[in-house]
Structure formats: C-alpha cells, structure tokens
Amino acid sequence: MTISGAAFLPGLELSRILYEEAVRPILEEALPGLRHAAARVGSGSEVLGFDTPRSADHEWGPRLEVFLTASDHARHGSDLHGLLAERLPKEIRGWPTHFRESGDPLDPVGLMERSDGPVNHRVAILDLDRWLAGQLGLPAADATPSSRAWLAMPQQRLAEVTGGAVYHDGLGTLTAVRQRLQWYPEQVWRYLLACQWQRISQEEAFVGRCAEVGDDLGSAVVAARLVRDLMRLCLLLERRYAPYGKWLGTAFSRLPAAERLTPALRGALTATGHPEREAHLCTAYEAVAALQNASGLIPPLDPGRRPYHARPFLVLHAERFAQALARTVTDPELAGLPLVGGVDQWADSTDLLGQPRAVQAAVHALP
C-alpha cells in the first residue's frame, strides 16, 4: 500500500496509465505532432516483471521513458521536463508522481510522496541514440553490433533494453532496435554456450578435491558457484538473458526446466557432506546435458556422470560439450578467441558492467 492506501499495481501497468492518461495528452497539447516513443525500459524490477509491493520503497512508481530524435531532444528536452513538472497530476491511481530525493549520497534513491508544488517526476526525456550508447555502448539505434560488440553487452543490460513495455513508438527505431537485440545471433550464442560449459568444466572436480583435504566449506562454495553457472547455462539454452544476482533465481524459476532441476540444485546447496553434494550436482549436470543434446546444436553426447580421470570424483567432463560447441563456431571474429565468453561470463562487478567503454576495451583486447 502507498501512503494514500492505493493497491499495488505492476509497474508496467502503472507506467502505461501514466503515459496514456497524463503524459500523452500534455505532449499532444504542448507540441502537437511531436514524434516520440514512450516506454518503460532500463533499470527497475518492473522492467523484468519481478516487482512486488516491496519495490515501492525506492525508485518505483509512475515512471516512463520518452524518447525523441536528437534534434528534438536538443530543442525541447529541457522544456518538456519542466512542463511535465508543472502539469502532471499529483498522483496516478493513488501513487504519487512526485519523488523526494534522498539526502544520503550512499543511498541516492527517490521515494514517492505527495507534493503541492511542481512534481519531481520520473518521466525521463531522452535522446534514443545517446541512451543506447550509455546502456550498451551502441553507437546508434540503427547500428548492427559486431560479434565482439555482442560480447561487450552485459546480459542484464540487454534484458533492460529488450524487456519492459513500449506504449507508443512514433519513431519506429525503438521497436526496431529491441527486435534486433532480442537474442544473440546464432554464432554468438554457440560461442557463449561453449564458454559456459567451459566454466563448469574448470571447477566440477574441485567439489571433491576440497572435501578430500578436509575443506568442506570450500567444497560447498565451489558447489554454489557451479549451481549458479548451471542456472545461467539453462537461461542461455532457453534463449533468456540472465539478470544480475538478485533476480537470477526468479528468472530461472520461470524456465520449463526449473521444476526438474530445482530439487537437485537445492540439494547441492544444502548438502552437509561431499558424497551427497556430488550426487546432486551430477544429477543436475545430466539434466542440463540432456537439454543441450535436445537443442540440436551439436550431435548428442553421453550425458552420464563419469570419474574424473584416475581420481575418485564423479563429474560430467563438461569440456566435452564446450569443445563440441566451439567446433561449430565459424564466425571469424569468434573462432580464434579463447573460451572466455561475454563480459558477464568473466566479470560480475556491477560497477564494471555499467561502464560500456571499459567493457568494450577489455573485450577488444582479447587475442
């Protein structure tokens, strides 16, 4: 409930109402014929469809992105922001359109509250090309990313651009770029799948080795890393961009394979000893390997567990899947790359992933 007692609405629905009942009439009266797109995209749990009443405690509420051409943004952007501050209704369906800024630099969030004066709204007036450059490093909305450029775009950011909802697209370019970015080109997809299997192959034997030397905590930590990588692999196989950590489990739970896999993954996380932990992980490996085989991207491989060379640990030997997928990558931009993958397969720092230029530089430095 809000301070006014309004019932919770999914954020995408609240944004649609904001546009249709408030923002669009103001635009049509003030600047008739102005070409624009209106959407709820970018950051925010509602863009991914994961918002709940808890979301309303910061930067959630009547929010909208209004995109203009570069020339119209330069001419009208500032004036439109001020006009909306003066003319927007004070609330939409009981939710205040005014956001009080936090005075805490360590927690700079906006909280909805009523205002008798101009509203400090969350209707962003944006230049689409500039916004895409900030989100993904794309030079323009009509640009076609190269294979390496795809590797520099974090999946969370891709989900933010392609998710959410578009309520009006008088520009046409927003819809077009969202369609182009909806999923990876097949060669990029194959490469990323190979790299995800490679990540699993590098650590699957460590669960047993850590336990063998008495480090059960280390064994559990490695198992948790493998569970995370298996969840992300399932999202890749199902053509779903993986969100950042807060929403990974929620996104995974909506996959068709989740019902089958969740008991094994949860068992690996809650096991109190190596034999049980290993058994659950191997059950999960076999299920995900079966999904890979069913994809038809490579000839089927034996999905069964097996010894790790001469050591007494059971694994999948996931490198078999990595190598088989890598052999199908013929794109000259990707074929010679080591199996390190996209940026969020080798880095999970939120601060780094939010810096497109730094990420692009790192990706293009790969041999």
Q: Please list the rounded mean pLDDT of every run of 10 residues in the chain (367 residues).
A: 71 97 96 96 95 89 96 94 95 92 73 88 95 92 91 96 97 95 98 98 97 97 98 98 95 97 98 96 98 97 96 97 98 94 91 88 86
Spatial CA neighbour of 93 closest among 12, 17, 149: 17
What letter would DSSP give residue 43? S
For the record, the structure tokens of 85 come out as 């501050």
User: Regarding beta strands 63-68 and 122-127, do their DSSP bridges make them parallel or antiparallel, or are they unpaired?
Assistant: parallel
Hey, what amino acid is at 11? Answer: G
* Structure confidence at residue 350 (pLDDT): 87
Cα separation of 316 and 8, whole Å? 46
* Structure confidence at residue 2 (pLDDT): 45
* Structure confidence at residue 363 (pLDDT): 87
The pTM for the full model equals 0.93
Helix (H, G, I), strand (E, B) or coil at 293: helix
Residue range 226-283, pLDDT digits in tens: 999 999 999 999 999 999 999 999 999 999 999 999 999 999 999 999 999 999 999 9
Sign of dihedral through CA atoms 55, 116, 167, 149?
negative
* Structure confidence at residue 343 (pLDDT): 94
List residues bridging with 95 in a β-sheet: 92
